[in-house]
Amino acid sequence: MSDNHRTHHRIDYTKATLLEHDAGDDPFVLFGRWLKAAEEEGLPEHNAMALATAGSFSISCRIVLLRSFDREGFVFFTNYNSRKALDLERDPRAALTFFWPDHERQVRIEGRAEPVSGDENDAYFHSRPRESRVGAWSSDQSRVAADRDQIDQRFARWQERLKDQEIPRPAHWGGYRVRPVRIEFWQGRPSRLHDRIAFERFDDGSWGRMRLQP
Ligand SMILES: Cc1cc2nc3c(=O)[nH]c(=O)nc-3n(C[C@H](O)[C@H](O)[C@H](O)COP(=O)(O)O)c2cc1C
pLDDT of residue 141: 94
Residues with C-beta less than 6 Å from any ligand 1 atom: 45, 48, 60, 62-65, 76-78, 82-84, 141-142
Atom number, ligand 1, closest to the C-alpha of residue 83: 27
Pocket test for ligand 1, best of 43, 49, 51, 62 (most atoms within 8 A of CB): 62
20 exposed, middle or buried (CB, 10 Å; 0-12, 13-18, 19+)? exposed
192 catalytic residue (yes or no) = yes
Domains of the chain with CATH codes:
20-126+171-212 (2.30.110.10), 128-168 (no CATH)
Conformational region of residue 89, where left means phi above 0, alpha means psi within -120 to 50, and beta covers everything else: alpha
Catalytic residue among 33, 71, 192, 211: 192
Centre of ligand 1 to C-alpha 23, Å, is 30
Tell me the whole-structure pTM to 2 decimals: 0.95
Atom number, ligand 1, closest to the C-alpha of residue 142: 25
Residue ranges of alpha helices (H) inside the chain are 20-23, 27-40, 83-90, 118-125, 130-138, 148-161
d(CA 130, CA 141) in angstroms, rounded, equals 18
pLDDT of residue 26: 97
Atom number, ligand 1, closest to the C-alpha of residue 62: 17
pLDDT in tens, the chain (214 residues): 567 888 888 888 889 999 999 999 999 999 999 999 999 999 999 999 999 999 999 999 999 999 999 999 999 999 999 999 999 999 999 999 999 999 999 999 999 999 999 999 999 999 999 999 999 999 999 999 999 999 999 999 999 999 999 999 999 999 999 999 999 999 999 999 999 999 999 999 999 999 999 9
Q: Which of 134, 63, 140, 126 shows the shortest CA–CA distance to 96?
A: 63
d(CA 142, CA 78) in angstroms, rounded, equals 11
CA atoms within 13 A on the CB side of 210: 8
pLDDT of residue 3: 76
